[in-house]
Structure 1
Amino acid sequence: MTWQPFYTGTGEPPERRVELSAPPPWREFPRRSLHQQFVPPQGLVEAVNAALVLRRPLLVTGPAGSGKSTVIEQVAAELDLGTVLRWHITSRSGLTDALYRYDALGRIHAQRLEGPGGSDDIGPFLRMGPLGTALLPSDRPRALLVDEIDKSDLDLPSDLLDVLERGEFEIPELARYGRDVVAVREWGGEDLHEVRRGRVQCTEFPFIVMTSNGERDFPAAFLRRCIRFTMPMPTPETLLRVVAAHLGADAARSEAAGELVGAFVERLTAGEGLAVDQLLNAVHLLAGSAAPDEERRQAVVDLLLRELSRV
């Protein structure tokens, strides 16, 4: 793109209506997968294949914006594993919600509305969670992203161990229910899956990618059940390949891109916290033919490449 200052700060509308330029590919909506633009670093392909063959989760550690969560999109597209299921972790995330959700209050309300003799079908008030959906019986493995697992409380990694080892879990509300078979909706869709006697047992262990920003340590029992990979420090060559994949070869060959990449790597080497998508933002704005003057250009660089650990 070429630099275009749409906003002038005068508060006066222009004579002609201003048309904004097209957004960068990673900010188009509805969001689309960027798996074709992802450039796996050295060693990641081997780690993915090890996780696939051994049916183990892949724990990918690295700084924000290093492409950790894009790995699974590329694998799912290449191996036809379907839509990626996503479980974004917060400090309040618990294992049960990832397995299934039960709307007990909604069921009680429906029973009161229908009165005596009304339907007592529990199915409409249950929905599988992202992990529960990934463990449903299927012909092919499902792909599950467990994003930022280091944000969880201390017990969650240990709570996951039994489910990931056995590949099954129980829904107590269905185990106590009067019918043996209940149809339950999957996560992120309306497809129904039959659950028998309250137990879900996978037939193909899902391909699971867990991401971590490296902000905490995990129990040894959890780590030994994972294939672990740490995203390496990017080099100018790898970053220019990323720029080319997202913005085209011409942008990657531009003088502005080379300067930005060189300064970016220097700052990373010095220990600053920066994300690759910050670099892409800067190249997208400043590698065009109508770049701003030097003073304004530096202001844009300072704005877009601010160190992440600072306010």
Structure 2
Amino acid sequence: MNKPIASGRKVGGLRPLALQGPAVTLLFLWMIVPLSMTVWFSLQRYNLLMPGMDEFDGLTNYRYLFTDPALWSSMITTLLLVGWVLVITVVGGTLLAVLFQQEFFGRGIARVLVISPFFVMPTASALVWKNLMMHPSNGVLAWLAGVFGMEPINWFSSLPLTSIVIIVAWQWLPFALLILLTAMQSLDEDQVEAARMDGAGPIAVFFFITLPHLKRAISVVIMIEMIFLLTVFAEIFVTTSGGPGLATTNLAYLIYIRALLDYDVGLASAGGVVAIVLANIVAIFLVRMVAKNLED
């Protein structure tokens, strides 16, 4: 027999479902309508330059997409971008979290300053890096190269993907630091002190106490960052426009090219479906990894 609770609802009854129904329905429609339209347009021959000529075309868009070298190039670029940014942010965030956990003068101000890049809009940060830091003539890095007697680097021509990785990593490193530094607050200092009394040095403490303690937080950082890094767009649009050639064209930017530069809505929608499938595969893998870490 169901027992009433203070709010008047019954555990296991229909009333909770009725209360949750509108929200669940709204979220379902919010997701399913755009997804259904994307799948539908991916099966159409629909080019904005040829109005009135749209027709059902089956899997033609997918056949063309999977035989297009630009797709595979963009997927490799996406994986390289995501992988390198994750390495930089996770390793750098872990080391910085250990550093900022120590007591030193001005630590509070330093924490605020090091986290602030995460709150800068991607377009603004890309413009700062393009015109202030990486400009081959007037940039800060060009000036530093001149100070040390080296030739300035034209970053976006010579090292385009590296430039994008640096910009995106600069934005996401504070996020990783914030999560990992928060996790560091729960580290048992008595355990660390006991290890030091037993003769463990800083490196041993880091690898055998600090790093295992941060394992769950690192998993969360990887999961959240990877989902967002699959859709990096503004940094590429502002700095390299996907070039030179296809050197910095990731999957998100390729979809933009097909939709808003080539006006091929059908082909762009097919690319969108591929991106959704890829993102879901990654999400399933990451959710399982995080769940496994939480169970440990």
TM-score, normalising length: structure 1 = 0.16
Higher strand share: 1
Higher helix share: 2
TM-score, normalising length: structure 2 = 0.17
